[in-house]
Structure 1
Amino acid sequence: MPFYETIHIRPQTQLHLWKIEEPLDSLIAGVPLQDHSLIRLHKLKSEVHQKGFLAVRHLLQHLGFSDADLLYDASGKPHLSHGQHISISHSHGFAAVAISNENLGLDVEAMRPKVLKIAPRFMDVDTHLSGLSLAEQLQKATIIWSIKEAVFKIKNEKGISYPSHIREQPFDPAEGSTVARLDFKHQTELFPVQFIQREDYIFVCVFES
């Protein structure tokens, strides 16, 4: 069973990781799903996404929950039936679940060279990546992309632009934390950020302050 790790991100927040190594048939057979979850699974066209969907359910099962404990609101945001906040994410080889007493957004990203090609679309490359080695650029650009994705999971409002509205304070990737800022609709909000790296993956948790 490829349960990978539990990380205590904050005193009331745990990040749980599952390394996706099983074939699809094994993942399907290993976890009971409700009818609406089966429908949702079969609508996913990519096997990678199907595996991620199922690995999240395996992770919840490992933590003592079931598929029935995971609820979704009208906007598609997940909730746990017992009331704690939850955010889920998966990317290729990892699935992750963050459970907290605080509202949060979680994003998982594989560090792939593609992120440097699209970096100018979501960040000021000269400001953030100047003077870094290629490996450092890849790491930092992935962290920044994940921060913006996680902020959007919390806010989820039409019209939010990653390059124009979401920014992060200067940070050193080795420190594992920063603060994100959302300037939108004449309001400014700050979001504490915690991030870690495991293997070639970045895991980012953003909290609603």
Structure 2
Amino acid sequence: MPLYKTITVNSSTKVFIWKIEESLEALSDGIELTENCANRVNNMKSELHRRGFMSIRHLMALEGYTDFDLYYDENGKPHLKDDKHISITHSFNFAAIIISDNEVGIDIEKQRNKILRIAHKFTPIEEYRTIANEDAMMRKLTIVWCAKESLYKSYAERGVSFLENIYVDEFTLDENQTTANVNYEGKEQRYIVDFFEFEGFTCAYALQAEA
């Protein structure tokens, strides 16, 4: 079972990362899906997306949850029926979840140079033009994207813009934590964001900061 990494963030928060190496058949073994989720998997055109979906259910099982314990609200945000908070992510051959007593969000992204072309769509790019090394700029922008995606998943309000409403505070690549906030319709929510890099991927997870 390729459980890649477990992170105990605090006494009530854990991160689980899965490296997807098995076939869909192997990942489906022992996993029972709701009718809705079974239909979702069957309608996925990508085999890798199907495998990612199933690997998430294996990660949930590590904490004693099944697909029947998971539901989604009107904004598409996942929830657990016991009122614990969960966030889910999948990128290529990695999948991850974070489970906590508090509001959380998580994202994994493959590090790719194409982020340099789209950066202006999600962050004020001028802040990063002083980075002389293109690889370092790509890595930093990937962290920013992951951080913003994590906040977006946690805040989960329609209309929130990565560019206009989510801001990530300055950090350096040798750090593993930063802060960020969502400002939307007169409300502000602060977050603490942890991040790390592995095998050409970036992972960030966000926890709401105490008021």
TM-score where L is the length of structure 2: 0.91
| Greater Cα shift, 93-102 or 118-127 | 118-127
Structure 2: distance between partners of 1:119 and 1:11: 35
Aligned residue in 2 for 1:105: 105
Structure 2 residue aligned with 1:149? 149
Q: What is the CA-CA distance between 1:91 and the residue it aligns to?
A: 0.5
Q: What residue number does 1:38 align with?
A: 38
- The corresponding residue for 1:134 is 134
Quick one: structure 1 residues 182 and 83, their matched pair in 2 at CA, closer, same or farther if it must change by over 3 Å? closer
Contact 2:104 2:154 survives alignment (8 Å): yes
The reply on whether 1:16 has 2:12 as its aligned counterpart is no
Give the match for residue 115 of structure 1.
Answer: 115
Q: Which residue of 1 aligns with 2:27?
A: 27
Counterpart contact for 1:129–1:140, Cα < 8 Å: no
Question: How many correspondences in the alignment?
Answer: 209
1:204 equivalent to 2:204? Answer: yes
Greater shift, 13-22 or 190-199, is seen at 190-199
Answering whether residue 193 of structure 2 is matched by residue 189 of structure 1, we say: no
For residues 190 and 128 of structure 2, the distance between their equivalents in structure 1, rounded to whole angstroms, comes to 19
Deviations 1:26-52 (A, max 9, x none): 223342222221012122222222121
Shift in alpha-carbon separation, 1:39–1:170, aligned structure 2, 3 A: same
- Pick closer, same or farther for the CA change 1:199–1:10 going to 2, 3 Å: farther
1:57-76 to 2 correspondence within 5 Å?
A: 57-76=57-76
Is the CA contact 2:150–2:204 (under 8 Å) kept in the aligned structure 1? yes
Residue 87 in 1 paired to residue 64 in 2? Answer: no
Tell me, yes or no, if the aligned pair for 1:71 and 1:79 is still in contact at 8 Å: yes
Indicate yes or no: 2:179 matched with 1:169: no
TM, length-normalised to structure 1: 0.92
Q: Matched residues in 1 for 2:21 and 2:132: separation?
A: 33
What secondary structure sits across from 1:174 in the alignment?
coil
Q: Is the alpha carbon distance of 1:81 and 1:159 closer, same or farther for their aligned partners in structure 2, counting shifts above 3 Å? A: closer
SS of residue paired to 1:38 = helix
Cα distance change on mapping 1:161 and 1:83 into 2, 3 Å: closer
Distance (whole Å) between structure 2 residues aligned to residue 180 and residue 156 of structure 1: 15
Give the C-alpha shift of residue 178 in structure 1: 0.9
The CA RMSD over aligned residues, in Å, is 1.7
| Worse-superposed segment, 87-96 or 128-137 | 128-137
